Amino acid sequence: LTFPLLSVTFLVSFGSSMLYGYNLAVVNSPAAHIKAFYNATWSQRYGHGLASGSLTLLYSLTVSIFAVGGLVGSLLVGVLVERYGRKGTLSRSALLILLAGGFMSFSRELGSPEMVIIGRSITGLHSGRCCRAVHGPFLMALLRGFLGLVPTIFICLGVFFAQVLGLPELLGEDRFWPLFLSVVVIPTSLQLLLLHCFPESPRYLLIERNDVCRATEALHRFLGTPDVQDVIEEMKEEQRSLSSVEMVSVWQLLRDRSVRWQTVSVVVVNAGMQLSGIDAIWFYTNTIFENAGIPVSEIPYTTVGTGAIEVVAGLIGPSQHHHFDLWVLLGSSPVAAGLRQAGPVDPGGCLRQPVPQTPDLSPPSAAGVPFLMTAELFTQSHRPAAYVVGGSLNWFCNFTIGFIFPFLQMSAGAFCYLVFCGVCLLVALYVYIIIPETKNKTFMEISHIFT
């Protein structure tokens, strides 16, 4: 692992995966300030404040619109990469964050809640593009094992940084929330400036552009060695194999009976990881802890504690892939998530004690497994369509949780977590019964097990 290769891996993840994690958690700390701004603006415009339900609806839209942008961005990645390349796609996506930061920075001065919502949707569009493009932009076969580790760590770091910056001593005060939302322009600007110092992805240049000369030069830069012929030959072999394969569309994948259980498994695992409630915790941590009975003055620091646990989980989790079977990781994660959601309740619907933080270690530890599992359950002809299905479900479920959780909590109190607990247990049961272990098995062996 050479310094240029590690540098570009860090740079791409810093400006992509970390921003995704930051934008998941950034709306948690300033929730009360943003709601107050919405209410005050509404009063100035119409002479009366927003009703409680309407205010909750507007804020839920602000939180969840991020996922709508992410869904749109993820579906546009293929067209953009084909036209601009992976490096060009990342650069153009970075410009979106600068635009979003401008909208959110001046929203309060201009008295426009719409600018906050538009800014959130644009940050989602950026995350949807980059989270799909970041897995292949500059990472080659040498980094395949490292590939599942990097995005998970940076997503957790992004969540943690948002929680730290949201402390009252930093940007947690009312006057700072527009700046807090727009901090994303700093890492994006750094990525935009430094990305031009690195060449395009060698794999993209050779396989998709058939430009052997530029691919060889890029490999010399990244690997720091003049002898790259073995890597070139490997890429050419991959290019030949891809040219002989007819890619399956999403509709063809859904209609293909030979991979029906594999498709169902991708749907269940991707939707189950999102519907475990982990996104609700990132979006609404302060509200959850307040309902759990934690003093308001202590909530920001408790939130930072959970973020630190997430970072630890992100660091140690990927190493478990080498020690535990796939179904153990997938199965234990929903169970632990369900235990995390299920807390003791009183008749009034409030938790008697904080929800245990320790089980939070499991979901991040298996966060990369659905991505890896999709690659192992399908051949190359079906794999792109399977990724579209899994990625779309991830964003759709992210939107669903972000939008309905406040209403679910208002109607069911602490018992709303039983919904997530039920989803987690059902996913764990499905994984245990249906999904086989894929380690050291060919696709034909996996397909035979499913049959």
State the pLDDT at residue 148: 53
The CB-side HSE value for 72 (13 A sphere, CA atoms) comes to 12
Q: Which residues contact 167 (CB under 8 A, 6 or more apart)?
A: 29, 300, 301, 304
Tens of pLDDT, residue by residue over 342-380, are 443 333 333 333 343 333 444 444 555 666 677 777 877
Question: Once rounded to an integer, what is the mean pLDDT over residues 276-287?
Answer: 82
Tens of pLDDT, residue by residue over 123-167, are 999 888 776 555 544 444 445 545 556 777 888 888 899 999 999
- The answer to whether 1-198 and 245-340+359-450 have equal CATH topology is yes
State the pLDDT at residue 99: 92
Q: Which residues contact 166 (CB under 8 A, 6 or more apart)?
A: 25, 26, 28, 29, 30, 172, 180, 300, 303
Residue 123 CA to residue 94 CA, distance in Å, equals 10
Regarding the domain delimited by 245-340+359-450, which CATH topology (the fold level of the hierarchy) does it fall under? Growth Hormone; Chain: A; (1.20.1250)
Angle between helices 383-412 and 52-105 (to 10 degrees): 130
Tens of pLDDT, residue by residue over 5-32, are 777 777 777 778 888 889 988 998 899 8
Angle (CA) 341-346-352 rounded to 5° is 65
Within 10 A of 350 (CB to CB), how many other CB atoms are there? 14
Delimit the domains of the chain by residue range: 1-198, 245-340+359-450
Q: Is residue 211's pLDDT more than 50?
A: yes
- Going by C-alpha positions, the residue among 427, 405, 388, 406 that lies closest to residue 128 is 388
8 Å CB contact between 314 and 152? yes
**Mean residue pLDDT across the chain:** 78
Residue 211 CA to residue 436 CA, distance in Å, equals 40
Tens of pLDDT, residue by residue over 288-310, are 888 778 888 888 888 898 888 88
Q: Is residue 243's pLDDT more than 80?
A: no
State the pLDDT at residue 100: 92
Angle (CA) 421-425-431 rounded to 5° is 145
Higher pLDDT, 320 or 76: 76
* Percent of the chain predicted with pLDDT > 90: 14
Going 442 to 262 to 208 to 1, the CA torsion angle's sign is negative
Q: Which residues contact 12 (CB under 8 A, 6 or more apart)?
A: 90, 134, 137, 138, 191, 195
Select from 1.50.40.10, 3.30.9.10, 1.20.1250.20, 3.40.50.300 the CATH code of 1-198: 1.20.1250.20
Residue 114 CA to residue 365 CA, distance in Å, equals 37
State the pLDDT at residue 323: 47
